[in-house]
Amino acid sequence: MVQMTTSSSLSTANSSKLRAWPVASLGSVSCFHRNRLHHNAGSLPYRSIAIKAHRGRRSRISSFIAFLSILVATVFVLHRLLSSFIVIDSENNPNSNNINSKPLWTSCPSTDMKEEREKNDEDNDICFVTCIFGENVRDVDHPANVDWFKKHWCHTRFLLVTNLPDLPAPGWTKIVSQTATGGRDGYTTNTRAAASDNNNQVEITKNHIIQSRHAKFLAWDVLTDITPKHCAAVVYTDGYLIPKRYTNRRSFLVSIFFSSPWSPSSPLFGWLPRIPGVGKHRPQIPPPAKFQNIVRQVRSHPWGLSQVKQRYFDGLPMTTLLNNLVRDRKDTKEHVEKTLEWFRAQTTDFREIMPYYLNKYFAYDPNNARYRELSSYFWKTYTTYGGLWRDQPLWAYVLHHFNVTPAVMTTEGTITKGGDLFETGGKLGWDKHVYV
């Protein structure tokens, strides 16, 4: 009885397995086929490849659109932000030339406005002036290329006074002066004696240097057709110096976001792709606030003068400073002795210790009557007293004589190299300003 029941159960189980086998076999084949398809998907032609390519293109396009949207939004926000303080410095240092946060110029005049203002003598600009005189082009300073500034800054002029018509001066308005106005020892560039010996050559060099001082201190007297009418301020620099394009981070950002990045002079040039027809015109912007504030400085100063004091000379006697010029081959012992003799003859106001100022760059108001008096006194003395060709010692005395304390032009950076306003851009001549 038991055996019959067991046999019946086994028979039933075997029958169920036989009936389920076709279904299981079919499922296995189907699963195997799906796995095979998945494994060989990369080798199937047409459809799978097309799907992958389509998905790749769509992904790249979406990423580019997202990047472009973020870039446009960022530029828009920064443009709006910078436009609110385009020429206002971020720093508020009482020792710097940031004496007023209100900009003089927030935009550039149109071409029609320029012509009208020029006609009416109303075009007040910052006039950068340099003076280079010498025997030949080989020996003298070579001015820096200022084409960039003429193209990208408005309200600026670059004026070069020289006796060398063949001196390369890209971007400068060259004023050739063939006569040594106010020179001494009967010397002019047209009637100079031949340099037959070393002493005579020193005198020729001396007279060239003297000539260069005229427009340096008295541009209002030399450039009568330009300076008084069109210059809100004269900023003198030695020929090899050049204004810094960006005096701080803010002016750098303004240059990026307010002008075409495809211009070769843009900070972004080279990082962006070239676009046909783009970058042919770059709108001008006013000069950085530090230069605009120089104009405000000299206009508000009673003597119309802004300079950098050489504090490292504080406490040094004038006799020591003059003897150092001989040591450094900047001037001759004979000139030093004549200068000391003249100084000591000024018994009422000469002092051995007087403030000493840097004259390789400074600024003045050419229409300030008191500055004209000051500079005229300096020039008359400089061309007649027979002393140094170097102008700093006599200038220090003249400022002391008139009781003048110039406005502070800048206190930042290495002041002997231009501070935060100027940098070397041209060639230093005269064997690096060693004259004897």
**Secondary structure (DSSP) of 276-300:** TT-SS----BPPPHHHHHHHHHHHH
CB atoms within 10 A of CB 351: 13
The pLDDT tens digits for 55-66 are 666 676 777 787
What is the predicted pLDDT for the residue at 104? 87
Residue with tokens 């230069």: 291
Distances (CA, A) of 29 to 36, 41, 49, 155: 10, 18, 26, 86
Give mean pLDDT, residues 224-251.
Answer: 85
Rounded CA-CA distance 144/399 in Å is: 30
What is the predicted pLDDT for the residue at 147? 93
The pLDDT tens digits for 133-164 are 988 898 888 999 999 998 899 999 999 999 99
Rg of the chain on CA atoms, in Å: 38
Helix (H, G, I), strand (E, B) or coil at 163: coil
Rounded CA-CA distance 284/302 in Å is: 32
The better pLDDT of the pair 190, 329 is held by: 329
For residue 213, name the pLDDT band (cuts at 50, 70, 90): very high
The better pLDDT of the pair 41, 290 is held by: 290
Q: What residues are paired with 308 via a beta bridge?
A: 358
What is the predicted pLDDT for the residue at 223? 93
Stated as kind and residue range, the H or E segment containing 424 is strand 422-424
Give mean pLDDT, residues 66-78.
Answer: 74
Inform me whether the pLDDT recorded for 343 exceeds 90. Answer: yes
Distances (CA, A) of 387 to 38, 41, 132, 296, 430: 98, 96, 21, 35, 20
pLDDT over 70 percentage in the chain: 61
Helix (H, G, I), strand (E, B) or coil at 236: strand
Cβ(133)–Cβ(313) below 8 Å: no
Rounded CA-CA distance 132/412 in Å is: 27
Rounded CA-CA distance 331/184 in Å is: 17
For residue 88, name the pLDDT band (cuts at 50, 70, 90): very low
For residue 2, name the pLDDT band (cuts at 50, 70, 90): very low
Distances (CA, A) of 100 to 88, 141, 231, 294, 361: 9, 35, 20, 11, 22
Rounded CA-CA distance 162/155 in Å is: 23
Inform me whether the pLDDT recorded for 94 exceeds 70. Answer: no
What is the predicted pLDDT for the residue at 106? 84
For residue 187, name the pLDDT band (cuts at 50, 70, 90): very low
Inform me whether the pLDDT recorded for 390 exceeds 80. Answer: yes
